[in-house]
Amino acid sequence: FFFLMIRRPPRSTQSRSSAASDVYKRQVHGEMTSYMWILILNLVLWAAAADETIRISLKKRKAILPLKYDRSGFSRANDGLELNEIYTIPLTNFANTEYYGEIEVGTPPQILTVVYDTGSTLLWLPLVECGSDCHTSNRFDRTLSNSVKLYPERQKKLEYGEGKIFGFFAEDVIGLKNSPIRVKLPFLLVHKDIDFSGLASDGIMGLSPDDKFPTFIDKAFEANQIKSSIFSFKFSSKSRDSFLYIGEIPKSFEKIEFLDIISPFYWMVRLNKVEFNKKTIRISAKEVLFDTGTSFIILPSGFFELFMKSLPHQFCQERICLCQNDLEKHYPNITFYFDGMKISLTPNDYLINPTVVNVMPLTYACLVAVSKNKFDFVILGDPIFRQRGIVFDKVKKKIGIEAPELVPHISYIGYCIIQAISLASW
């Protein structure tokens, strides 16, 4: 298959700067590497049986030259641009497991790519000096920026279950191409990372709601460079047509229904119940995190085991399943109930077919984009963003869901009573 990058639980959380979804950073090793080889073996066997030829296409990334900026850090070409209602940032789809876009860093600007990550707080980028100590990527050259400020005494380590990054804080001008948005932002310059070889982007830009760590969008709003701090995402299974929208809700979105977030640090909402094919599942998880930085749907361990048992075992080997259209009726829908609405994930949403993005042009097998964690909450990663637009409103502390199915709303106390009755009769 391709290099899958799925975040894993951390050994420890060092501070609030490691947001809830810092429990998962996209990586290549351990469990996912074994699934990669299982998938390749199965595809070879199935293709041989069908007497077809396997073709694996590889794509190179194009280098983009920096634009000319003056020493102030702001392009004179930007002076004539008016303040728009909304800015649209195209995202690159890497194998349906990572969506990343470009940013400009420094003066003159250097073009780097980041995952715009709603599940973490900090922007971090690799240094040129990192060499072989960092994953293969473009790097930030601090010697080429005349606006950078370095704070090497402020060292920082972020530790994950199977990955770590080491760096120090800096501040420089961060901008978006073809827009007047350019702000000074603190970020982490990484001089070493471990087990991040599967990351397709150069770095990660955190977009959590934590007020202690203002994001790029917060800074742009404070500087009156955008009319609103609202931002939203909508992904696609195609190599193109995935976007981050900043400043307003896109008019192309269907009716938006909003949920209150229940944490000052994470884009997390209350979960009322879960169903598999309209059958209520007994789980203890009561929160859901919406995270653009996680490749899969992440379930608590017990919940995950129930889901795996619901898969048709005659079509699946571990997390590799046949995914031809006539077989999809055998796979369960997963329905998540929130306050006044529900969202259902179908097999089309959680079965990743690599042929869609031309990574491996075969149609026999799919990877089940559902994994597990040791924590007691659900993470809705990339599959939910491919299904519908999701809006993030930091000022009002709300998440907007595009076109959910509305259900009768009950109070939280009423919900607890129903849960108690359900558990007593289990």
Q: What is the mean pLDDT, run by run of 10 residues, along the chain of 426 residues?
A: 35 36 42 45 41 32 35 38 78 93 97 95 93 91 97 87 84 91 96 90 95 95 94 92 95 96 97 90 90 94 91 86 74 94 93 61 76 91 97 97 88 56 55
CA distance 348 to 342: 17
Closest by CA position to 329, among listed 319, 344, 340, 315: 315
Q: Please report the DSSP string for 258-269 in residue order.
A: EEE-S-SSS-EE
Written as one letter, the residue type at 317 is: Q
Q: Is residue 341 within 8 Å of residue 278, measured between CB atoms?
A: no
* Residue 212 pLDDT: 93
Sign, Cα dihedral of 287, 237, 361, 324? positive
**Which DSSP symbol is given to 136?**
S
Residue 309: what residue type? K
User: Which residue has 């009769």 as its token pair?
Assistant: 425
pLDDT of 416 reads 59
Bridge partner residues of 101 (DSSP): 114
The pLDDT assigned to 68 comes to 38
CA-wise closest residue to 323 among 46, 4, 2, 33: 46
Q: Quote the tokens at residue 95.
A: 């194998």
Q: What is the pLDDT of residue 419?
A: 56
Distance CA 281, CA 288 (A): 16
Q: Which amino acid is at 158?
A: L
How far apart are alpha carbons 170 and 145 in whole angstroms? Answer: 12
pTM of this prediction?
Answer: 0.80
Amino acid letter for position 9: P
| Residue type present at position 178 | N
pLDDT of residue 413: 55
Structure confidence at residue 299 (pLDDT): 94
pLDDT at 60: 32
3-state DSSP: the chain helix, strand, coil percent, rounded to 5?
20, 35, 45
Q: Are 304 and 371 in contact (CB under 8 A)?
A: yes
Please name the residue that has the structure tokens 């709300």.
398
